[in-house]
């Protein structure tokens, strides 16, 4: 089944990722999408909540059953969204490793990629995509205002969630075919081009032990982040790169 050929529309749900995981467990086919008008318990990465008010954002999850698990999957999804928005709206969306979508240095959206295994065998992957569409600045909770942006804030008009979703499905199908055909290099190259940071740039990187400062060196062939720190070159599989604004207020909960 093609991505988005079957869409389950929900007026409201806890989290589209959770609904789709249940469907995946019941044997739902690859390509099916859950799209909600609002989420009552939208989830972001690192246990954060995802602000999901009705009619303001795009909240959807896509079921994939890829041949392999890879850190490239969230990057691939980010590239697909960025490319769709460039094609449709001529917007330059940056990908901030590993799962942020950045527009004009602020967060436009994010990817929550969750894999499920049967023993060591990958059963399925749920790719959750959240995109801020129709928020005005004051629609965001005050702590998010300095770092969040929506399409409307840039385009000065409303965007219809299903229209935007359709564009994303076309682009995601293309990139998923590339992933399945082991086009890792093509994905990595595109991430490098779209990346918010260029090699050599100073970044602050947040890991469990706290913020680490270093020089961004690039991504390795597995899609991991390579940073030159005071204690040598380090490779990270998870964590988050902080923008200058976020670096001033670490620990903030509840992203949009």
Binding site for ligand BTN (CB under 6 A): 15-17, 39, 42-45, 48, 50, 59-61, 99-100, 110-112, 128-130, 255
DSSP state of 28: P
Token digits for 41? Answer: 């318990």
| Min separation Cβ 18 and ligand BTN, Å | 7
| Min separation Cβ 208 and ligand BTN, Å | 16
| Min separation Cβ 233 and ligand BTN, Å | 26
Whether 135 contacts 148, CB under 8 Å: yes
| Min separation Cβ 245 and ligand BTN, Å | 15
Cα 172 from Cα 134, distance rounded (Å): 22
Name the residue with the smallest CB distance to ligand BTN. 110
Residue 210 bridge partners (DSSP): 207
Cα 162 from Cα 31, distance rounded (Å): 16
Nearest to 50 by CA among 169, 148, 159: 148
Helix, strand, or coil (residue 244): helix
DSSP state of 18: H
């Amino acid at each position: 089944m093609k991505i988005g050929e079957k869409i389950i529309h929900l007026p409201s749900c806890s989290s589209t990722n959770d609904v789709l995981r249940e469907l995946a467990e019941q044997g739902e086919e690859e390509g099916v999408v859950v799209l909600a008008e609002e989420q009552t318990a939208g989830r972001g990465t690192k246990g954060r909540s995802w602000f999901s008010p009705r009619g303001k954002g795009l909240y959807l999850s896509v079921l994939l059953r890829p041949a392999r698990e890879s850190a490239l999957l969230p990057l691939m999804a980010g590239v697909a969204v960025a490319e769709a928005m460039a094609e449709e709206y001529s917007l330059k969306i940056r990908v901030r490793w590993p799962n942020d979508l950045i527009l004009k240095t602020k967060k436009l959206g994010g990817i929550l990629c969750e894999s499920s295994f049967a023993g060591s065998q990958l059963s399925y992957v749920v790719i959750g995509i959240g995109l801020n569409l129709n928020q005005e600045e004051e629609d965001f909770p005050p702590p998010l205002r300095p770092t969040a942006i929506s399409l409307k804030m840039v385009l000065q008009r409303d965007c219809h969630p299903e229209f935007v979703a359709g564009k994303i499905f076309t682009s995601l199908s293309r990139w998923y075919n590339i992933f399945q055909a082991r086009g890792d290099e093509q994905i990595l190259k595109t991430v490098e081009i779209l990346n918010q940071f260029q090699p050599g740039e100073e970044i602050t990187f947040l890991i469990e032990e706290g913020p680490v400062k270093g020089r961004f060196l690039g991504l390795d062939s597995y899609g991991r982040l390579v940073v030159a720190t005071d204690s040598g070159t380090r490779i990270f599989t998870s964590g988050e790169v902080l923008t200058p604004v976020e670096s001033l207020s670490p620990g903030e909960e509840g992203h949009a």
